[in-house]
Amino acid sequence: MAKNYDHTKIEKKWQSIWEKKKIYQAQNSSKKSKYYSLIEFPYPSGDGLHVGHPRPYIGMDVISRKKRMEGYNVLYPIGWDAFGLPTENYAIKTGKDPRIVTKKNTGTFRRQIKSLGISFDWSREINTTDPKYYKWTQWIFLQFLKKGLAYKKKMLINWCPKDKIGLANEEVVNSCCERCGTPVEKREKEQWMLAITKYAERLDRDLDTVDFLPHIKLAQKNWIGKSEGATIQFVINNSKLSIEVFTTRPDTIFGATFLALAPELAKKITGKDFGIKVDTDRENRDKIGIDTGLKAKNPANSEMIPVYVVNYVSVDYGTGAIMGVPADDERDREFAEKYKLPIIENYKKAGFEEFGKKVTTFKLRDWIFSRQRYWGEPIPVIFCEDCGVVPVPEKDLPVLLPKVKNYQPTESGESPLANISKWVNVKCPKCKGKAKRETDTMPNWAGSSWYYLRYTDPKNTKEFASRKKLNYWLGTDPAEGGVDWYNGGNEHTTLHLLYSRFWHKFLFDLGLVPTSEPYKKRTSHGLILAEGGEKMSKSRGNVINPDDIVARFGADTLRVYEMFMGPFDQAIAWNEEAIIGPRRFLERVWKVATQIQKNFSGLLQPSAGTFPVQNSSVSALHKTIKKVSEDIEGMRFNTVISALMIFLNENPTMPKEVYEIFLKLLAPFAPHITEELWQLLGHKQSIHLEPWPKYDLSRIKDTEIKIVVQVNGKVRGEIIVPAETGEDEIKSKALTEGSVSKYISSTPKKVIYVKGRLINIVV
């Protein structure tokens, strides 16, 4: 055995062996219980990985490796969410085909991830830009269309006048285009929509059935925005028209002194554009309003109250109109004071039932599914002058994304696909007359809404996944099945998770998946920030490449450091000086092995628990097994590494059997060094296929306890006694302890015993 730990000779060796032996490939049927662990598949950017990217991969790798050692048939898959803006922006800038760019980028990501020893099942690798994959994304869209859940609607969209493209809300930053920084305008355009609102009640209610972190459930509920309240009609003066108001507090109607309308609703009622833009930030923005000149009758007291168009009411919430009750609402009070409107401090809060129609509303709005882009899945629809909207026949899927020379949007704002006449102009599948293809593409949310299903059967050409394999990996209980554990970023715990749950419920209603929810459990991780606490970015020049860390310190050191650097769910700044600690820890692990080989030469083979070490060491070992096992399940990875470091510090030499247990506990975090040491200790089977250590509760209980002895409150000594020793015997031993007795010249006035901890002798 080499005296010093050399990661450069170990890591590539074992990565090659693992891949050759396929030890991480999941079986589609097994006598073992299945376990499906999942990460959010990465977007393969041109910059490659930085050290923040692997944190979730390593975290779920630790979980997956432990589950394999516990006897599960584990599916831990990987793929690429490769459609989207960054690659399209690069194509626009350089003219390079996104296919070529994506192939290069995925190659870089694949190499980097493999260098970290992540136990992914690479045989199931998928790519959302692969026609074999997006054929089924298009197929699912056609099912939405058949059921009336996909439809076209003319609506106002975010519009970048410079790039001539429509933008999703998440692509608008501080009212500017994320791509070029130009202020965004509103433009009316027909868009494809998915009717997610029809699932709003179930999406909200079924959160009670899943094991999501509390803040994830809260984010989902807030976005869905379920509100129970009432709608009330306010009749406009000298008109048969009325304004319908939704309120969660109909009992406050007697305190209403004005109505506030969203700009779109005000324009619809009056025909006027008041020039106000909506800003729904309640706390941080000035409340702006313009009097429409209309008056409306408060049905509770027949008072005529003014109607304002305001910047803080959205047409997408409730009815687009609210009643202002300044005595009970800070926002309304601020507005009323600014515009000198009445504030009724003490008003009647009863009798509202005669005016209120009880309703349940949701803040959630239907999903805008169109993008006027190139690098996305073509929407499989044809427009015929005679037949109207015609779905592409399923036998003709996939609708392939054609190659183009120019990736810029058209002057009219249509997708670059609109310029390819040979692709656009087709025959109608129904009447064979002249027709045109849809040139909008899908958002990158589409491919990521169902990818976890494809992992179960990635090479199936007849269906998106066989029901048999879906039943095996998701389970057959509709109420309790799904991916066993899904971890991802906090930034994706709202929209991605919501869209994915919606698609899954739709497929469940069609009888195509066995469970009502896609994921049993969802957790999240914090970002790794650059040194100094800034977000890592190429523009800031603070990106740290994991290749450099792996070359200098080793993949195992990087893995241990990223799990040790702080709580997994919290953001933490990278500190290159701190990585020395995990490296030295692994060097000490290696050193212990050299001493075992020298001192025991593999001859010590005692049965469990009979190795010649002190009882306190046996107890410490079982306590460590318990803590490591429980803390991995709680994603408290930093405390696991801490516990292993403490155990090693307290046991710098140990018998072979103890050391082997220690290596098993370390294996999920540092797979290469533990595999090498396991083999050097004489084992043929991989350590990652060995059984996970079990603790014995009877061994955890301390056999001896240390009692601190005080005299008049000052520590004067200590005694060690068997744990079962009675109070009288402990007191007697304390009084006769040599280091203590010299402070006692007479009979003590009082002897106070704190069980298992200390004795205070008062003289």
Binding residues for ATP: 538
Residue 11 three-state SS: helix
- The answer to whether residues 693 and 667 touch, using CB atoms and an 8 Å cutoff, is no
187 phi/psi in degrees, rounded to 5: -140, 140
| Distance set, CA 360 to CA 249, 291, 349, 507 (Å) | 13, 30, 21, 26
Q: Which residue's structure tokens are 């992540």?
A: 118
Sign of CA dihedral 679, 683, 686, 690: negative
Is the backbone of residue 554 left (phi > 0), alpha (psi -120 to 50) or beta?
left
User: Furthest-apart CA pair in the chain: how many Å?
Assistant: 115
d(CA 68, CA 65): 5
Radius of gyration in angstroms for the set of CA atoms belonging to the chain, rounded to a whole number: 33
The pairing of strands 165-167 and 150-160 is antiparallel
Contacts of 155 (CB under 8 A, 6+ apart): 188, 189, 190, 191, 368
**DSSP β-ladder status, 304-310 and 258-261:** parallel
DSSP assignment of 465-493: S-HHHHHHHH-S-TTT-SBSEEEEEGGGT
569 contact partners, CB below 8 Å, separation of at least 6: 213, 523, 524, 525, 526, 635
Annotated binding site: 538
Phi and psi angles of residue 295, each rounded to the nearest 5 degrees, phi first? -125, 145
Cα dist. 490→3, 474, 526, 548, 699 in Å?
Answer: 44, 24, 7, 27, 40
The token duo for 504 is 């899954």
Question: What 3-state DSSP class applies to 111?
Answer: helix
Report the amino acid identity of residue 303: E
Would you say the C-alpha torsion 602, 603, 609, 615 has a positive or negative sign? negative
Q: Which DSSP string do the residues of 664-703 spell out, in sequence order?
A: HHHTTTSHHHHHHHHHHTT--S-GGGSPPP---HHHHS-S
Report how far residue 157's alpha carbon sits from residue 191's, in angstroms, rounded to the nearest whole number: 9
**Contact in structure between 379 and 442 (CB atoms under 8 Å):** yes
Residue 362: how many other CB atoms lie within 10 Å? 18
Residue with tokens 């702080």: 566
Among residues 165, 210, 208, 207, the alpha carbon closest in space to that of 189 is found at 165
Residue 544 vs residues 529, 535, 660: alpha-carbon distances, Å: 10, 11, 35
Decide: helix, strand or coil at residue 310. Answer: strand
Taking the CA atoms of 141, 161, 170 and 178 in sequence, report the sign of the dihedral they define.
Answer: positive
| DSSP secondary structure of 63-100 | HHHHHHHTT-EEE-EEEE---SHHHHHHHHHH---HHH
